[in-house]
Amino acid sequence: MGAIMIRCPATNELIPVGIDTDKDSFLGLPEVQAAPVQCPACGGQHTWSKKDAILETTMRIRSRGSSD
Ligand SMILES: [Zn+2]
């Protein structure tokens, strides 16, 4: 599993779009514009499509408060 990320055009940071998926499902996504995502980096909203997106599988995103 991985998190779909896009790059914020304002801060150039990678931000999660809030969708976790696996590689096969990611590759199978249609090339359509997705719903705007609220950007945690700049506070704006960004529209994105699959060509803007990457599947982040290397970075481990730990949820806060995890006892891990
Ligand atoms: Zn942004």
pLDDT tens for each residue of 7-16:
999 999 999 9
> Structural domain tally of the chain?
1
Q: Is residue 13 part of a domain?
A: yes
Q: Ligand 1 centre and the CA of 67: distance in Å?
A: 30
Q: What is the number of H-type helices and E-type strands within the chain?
A: 1, 5
Q: Ligand 1 centre and the CA of 27: distance in Å?
A: 24
Q: Is residue 47 part of a domain?
A: yes
Contacts 24+ apart (CB under 8 A), 30-38: 37/6
Q: Ligand 1 centre and the CA of 59: distance in Å?
A: 20
pLDDT at 67 over 70: no
Q: Is residue 63 part of a domain?
A: no
Which residue range(s) make up the domain with 17?
Answer: 2-56
pLDDT tens for each residue of 10-43: 999 999 999 999 999 999 999 888 899 999 999 9
Q: What tokens appear for 15 in the block?
A: 């931000």
Give this prediction's pTM.
0.77
Q: Is residue 67 part of a domain?
A: no
